[in-house]
Amino acid sequence: MTLRVVKTIFWFLAGLGLTVILARILYGPGSVTYLTDILPWGLWKGGGVVALVALGGAGFTVAMFVFIFQWDRYQPLVRGAVLFGLLCYVSVAVGLTFDIGIWWRIVFPLWHWQFHSVLFEVAWCIMLYLVVLLVEFSHTVAERYEMERTLRILKRSTLVLVIAGISLSTLHQSSLGTLFLATPFRLHPLWHTDLLPVLFFVSAMGIGCLTISLVTLFVHRLYNAEPPMNAISGLARISAYLLAAYVVIRLTEILASGEGLLLVQNDWDTLNFWIEISLSALIPIAFLFRKAYRCSKTAVFWIALTATIGMALNRVNVAGLATTNLTQSFYFPAWTEWAVTLGILAAGGLVFFFAVEHFGLFQGLTKEHVVERYEPGQLDHTDWAALYFGGQRFGEVHLYSLVFVVGLALSLGLLPDDAIYGVSPETTVTFGARTVVAHKIPARGDEAGTQFLVGNGGEDGIHAAAEVHVLMVDGNRDGDYVLFDHDNHAATLAGEDDPDASCVLCHHMSKPFDEATQCYECHSDMYLTVDLFDHDLHARELGGNQGCAECHQDPSAPKIRENSTECVDCHEGMRQEGSRVQVTDPTMQYFAPGYMHVMHALCETCHEERQPTLPVPNENFARCTNCHQGLPSLRSDIWKSARMSIATYTTRSDSGGGGQQ
Ligand code: HEC
Ligand code: HEC
Ligand code: HEC
Ligand code: HEC
Ligand code: HEC
Ligand code: HEC
């Protein structure tokens, strides 16, 4: 591949990504990604952030070898490694900016300090380390432009900077691993371990050495220059040791925690594990311990490529791919997500080439090599503007501008409607709760409280347990239900004298001319707020044009809700007195919030209030799992057995709405 082809591809990808980024700024990440609430971390975070930070480990590793250990052998690589690290981190910052909901709030960690958050620490370390890398790199720039005084100051601060860089890297490389300690129920046990911080740190150093070797070899090949093989083979040896340490820690941990059997399962996760660890460590180790391979340009190139892909896969696995099984959800990035990630990487690559050509990044790659790559007359670096506007031959600048614009236009043409017209919130119709027969048994383990099992759960002693009729609350009918012992609540909350006293606590409102309207009939969307007032229906029911004045009594007043006849004037009995549910925001009267929201607003708040007064203490009472015994992400084992038996439950009454399901 020639330099020209590589640059053309990069410019094209940069154009492709830029359009998508602009669309994302306009309409938010939902318009261009396939992320969901269950899988909120996709390609941008898994690939663009978690993986890139690891590869960028090259910067601090090589700087440490050269400036702290004084291993002069690696001197030829240090500038390239620092710039490579810098570009990785800038890409991370740019990628993250567009990944978070409100993109310009990326700077908020600067003044909103949240000491309990791992991400807060990561954010600060990365910001500080970016500054360190920038200063480290300015060394190269100052040298190029012969700024003597700046250079003197920089030289004196080198040691401090390098030490700061190493400390910051140690902190954030490992705390990126710490972040995933919070996902024991999502992440497959082959990846989830308490040693994640250590593994992330060791592997970042190991892979950093190989990635910078890969980049150096690739760039020297493109410019037809001789790469510094002495330094590269040395790095390859070090990385072989580091990766070996990584494999030993990882496998020992898996065996020691009694999960060894998972290594020999016949399933997708195990296969994924072996592919990942072979590419990222086993194959590279096998080759790099032999001198013949270490000293061969071709061998190191391919081994480093394999390892880089493998280690990127490792990070992608931890950040998402190895969670798909437990969360029972699948995600493949949209083409727009690929466009942004590849676009950012390509732009970083172009900056790298620019630095190679203008700052003498590698000692063995001189001006002559650069000039040789261009046919005379095609590209004059000193006079870009004249070349471009002078309308000379179809040179490199013309070519690159063209593919860039083609990239921009192509992705504009392919953008999904959401990214052009904005995202319209998806409606999710709700259905009423169904009555099912369940067995009420004590919670498992030493947890307090109760647990419901639908149908014949297949476990011992269940049939002997009390059989109760419970409501299966599953508004959007996606199988993530909550079993709600309605009658027990009604009875418990009513007290002794009047069994019906409790109804109004929850049934706070009914439709006009109805009683005990079910929640889903008004809270008719799972997530969105819906307006109960149907203007057309009222105009029709009240006699068309004759009826307008019933509500719009003053024809000259603006036709808004405040000026119209109040709802209660016609619908007296809609609201129930003495309910737990009270309107807090008067402007939101008769706007029914989403089903999930109201369930939490009702159920969770009462459980929080009542927890201290429970006859039998139950610290789990207001926690997610007390109600969500069925959410796969929270209790996958129960969920699976319940799923299997869901087809066999008996129905007392089915009050599902909309005629479906
Ligand atoms: C006191 C009971 C209760 C507690 C505690 C509770 N929830 Fe819920 N939650 C519900 C009910 C009821 C629903 C409606 C279920 C449905 O329609 O599928 C619901 C719905 C949901 C849904 C939507 C499910 C779907 O089908 O899309 C999610 C997600 C959710 N809850 C998450 C949580 C999380 C996370 C917590 C803990 C912070 C939590 N809930 C705590 C009762 C509870
Ligand atoms: C703790 C809150 C709560 C209390 C107390 C309560 N309900 Fe309900 N009720 C609900 C919820 C939640 C649903 C599910 C409705 C839905 O999904 O649309 C429901 C559903 C119903 C249904 C339809 C489902 C079915 O079983 O056919 C009826 C009828 C009903 N309630 C009547 C009553 C009566 C009568 C009382 C008083 C004795 C009462 N409720 C007390 C929360 C409550
Ligand atoms: C007749 C329509 C209607 C029915 C039926 C209804 N709601 Fe509501 N609900 C509303 C409206 C409208 C609001 C907004 C506040 C208001 O206007 O009172 C609301 C608000 C709420 C809130 C307050 C949310 C918050 O942010 O604090 C809760 C909780 C709630 N409803 C729960 C329920 C439950 C549980 C049921 C069924 C047992 C139910 N609602 C049945 C219309 C209804
Ligand atoms: C039941 C009471 C009621 C009746 C009957 C009624 N309106 Fe309205 N109208 C309202 C309310 C309340 C609003 C404020 C709408 C909102 O906030 O969503 C409104 C808003 C409007 C608006 C401004 C909203 C918009 O869509 O731009 C117009 C125009 C209007 N009404 C015309 C009429 C006409 C014409 C009739 C007779 C055919 C009529 N209305 C009958 C209650 C009523
Ligand atoms: C002038 C009297 C009047 C006023 C004011 C009025 N309504 Fe109505 N409303 C009616 C009539 C009449 C019906 C039709 C009853 C029927 O379905 O037979 C109705 C029906 C309804 C229904 C039931 C529709 C359905 O889907 O079954 C709802 C909900 C409703 N009104 C909400 C409201 C709200 C919210 C307001 C205040 C913004 C309001 N109404 C103001 C007279 C009124
Ligand atoms: C007004 C207070 C209140 C509200 C509202 C409420 N709960 Fe409860 N809940 C209780 C109390 C009190 C108990 C303990 C009952 C007992 O032990 O007999 C309980 C127990 C439970 C239990 C344990 C099993 C059982 O029934 O004994 C579950 C699960 C549960 N609630 C789910 C829900 C869900 C889901 C909702 C919302 C639809 C809800 N609760 C709304 C007060 C409430």
444 CB under 6 A from ligand 5? no
629 CB under 6 A from ligand 6? no
Among protein residues, the one with the nearest Cα to ligand 5's atom 5 is: 567
Query: Of 476, 477, 481, whose CA–CA distance to 428 is shortest?
Result: 476
Per-residue pLDDT at 453 exceeds 90: no
Confidence band of 311 (pLDDT split at 50, 70, 90): very high
* Per-residue model confidence (pLDDT) at position 630: 55
Residues with CB under 6 A from ligand 3: 506-511, 517, 519, 521-523, 532, 581, 583-584, 588-593, 598, 601-602
Question: Contact at 8 Å (CB) between 124 and 78?
Answer: no
Question: Contact at 8 Å (CB) between 84 and 214?
Answer: no
- Using the mean position of ligand 5's atoms as its centre, give its distance from the Cα of residue 535 in Å: 9
How many Å separate Cα 262 from the centre of its chain? 26
Among protein residues, the one with the nearest Cα to ligand 3's atom 24 is: 598
Among protein residues, the one with the nearest Cα to ligand 2's atom 42 is: 506
* Least confident stretch, 209-218, 324-333, 336-345: 324-333
**What mean pLDDT value characterizes the chain?**
85
Among protein residues, the one with the nearest Cα to ligand 1's atom 12 is: 599
Atom of ligand 5 nearest to the CA of 511: 29
* Per-residue model confidence (pLDDT) at position 546: 87
Confidence band of 661 (pLDDT split at 50, 70, 90): very low
Give whole-number Cα distances, 622 to 182, 343, 510, 606, 625, in Å: 20, 45, 28, 8, 8
Question: Average pLDDT in the 336-341 region?
Answer: 94
Tens digits of residue pLDDT in 70-117: 999 999 999 999 999 999 999 999 998 988 888 899 999 999 998 888
Atom of ligand 3 nearest to the CA of 521: 5
- Using the mean position of ligand 5's atoms as its centre, give its distance from the Cα of residue 538 in Å: 6
Question: Contact at 8 Å (CB) between 469 and 544?
Answer: no
- Using the mean position of ligand 4's atoms as its centre, give its distance from the Cα of residue 513 in Å: 22
- Using the mean position of ligand 1's atoms as its centre, give its distance from the Cα of residue 434 in Å: 16
Among protein residues, the one with the nearest Cα to ligand 4's atom 33 is: 548
Residue bearing the bigger pLDDT, 332 or 460: 332
Question: Contact at 8 Å (CB) between 175 and 121?
Answer: yes
* Least confident stretch, 375-384, 568-577, 578-587, 610-619: 375-384
Q: How far apart are CA 456 and CA 105, in angstroms?
A: 50
- Using the mean position of ligand 6's atoms as its centre, give its distance from the Cα of residue 165 in Å: 53
607 CB under 6 A from ligand 6? yes
Taking residue 466's Cβ as centre, other Cβ atoms within 10 Å add up to 9
Residue bearing the bigger pLDDT, 513 or 482: 482
* Per-residue model confidence (pLDDT) at position 115: 86
605 CB under 6 A from ligand 6? no
Per-residue pLDDT at 196 exceeds 50: yes
- Using the mean position of ligand 1's atoms as its centre, give its distance from the Cα of residue 430 in Å: 14
- Using the mean position of ligand 4's atoms as its centre, give its distance from the Cα of residue 535 in Å: 6
519 CB under 6 A from ligand 6? no
603 CB under 6 A from ligand 6? yes
Q: How far apart are CA 152 and CA 324, in angstroms?
A: 53
253 Cβ neighbours under 8 A, 6+ residues apart? 193, 195
- Using the mean position of ligand 4's atoms as its centre, give its distance from the Cα of residue 550 in Å: 10
Tens digits of residue pLDDT in 493-509: 887 777 778 888 999 99
Among protein residues, the one with the nearest Cα to ligand 2's atom 2 is: 506
Amino acid (1-letter code) at residue 426: E
Phi, psi of 609 (to 5 degrees): -60, -45
Tens digits of residue pLDDT in 119-138: 898 889 989 999 999 998 99
Per-residue pLDDT at 523 exceeds 90: yes
- Using the mean position of ligand 2's atoms as its centre, give its distance from the Cα of residue 486 in Å: 6
Residue bearing the bigger pLDDT, 166 or 657: 166
Tens digits of residue pLDDT in 262-295: 898 888 899 999 999 999 999 999 999 999 999 9
Tens digits of residue pLDDT in 552-600: 988 888 888 888 998 888 988 888 888 999 887 777 789 999 999 999 9
Count of residues for the chain?
661
Per-residue pLDDT at 382 exceeds 60: no
Per-residue pLDDT at 637 exceeds 50: no
Give whole-number Cα distances, 283 to 246, 250, 309, in Å: 13, 16, 12
Query: Of 363, 73, 381, whose CA–CA distance to 225 is shortest?
Result: 363
601 Cβ neighbours under 8 A, 6+ residues apart? 581, 593
Residue 454 structure tokens: 């639908």
Confidence band of 446 (pLDDT split at 50, 70, 90): low
